Amino acid sequence: MNTYRVGVYYEEGTVLRIYADSPEQAKAKAQEILDDSVQAEYPDECKSKIVHRDTGVTDVQEIE
């Protein structure tokens, strides 16, 4: 059996509940979570190496 290195792209959208004093602080906290989080988990035998990752905060709405 041959071994192949296969590039994949994984993008995920979700909504986070963030406690903050302002929309700007909520956005900054959300971005920090994105920067510190792993997007996907692959089996060990895949020996994955992240070569590209898109993150960003798209919207901030206050919850009443």
Q: Residue 37 carries which DSSP code?
A: S
Q: What are 7-42's pLDDT values in tens digits?
A: 777 777 778 888 999 999 999 988 888 887 765 676
pLDDT value for 24:
93
Q: Residue 22 carries which DSSP code?
A: S
pLDDT value for 46:
66
Q: Is the pTM of this model over 0.75?
A: no
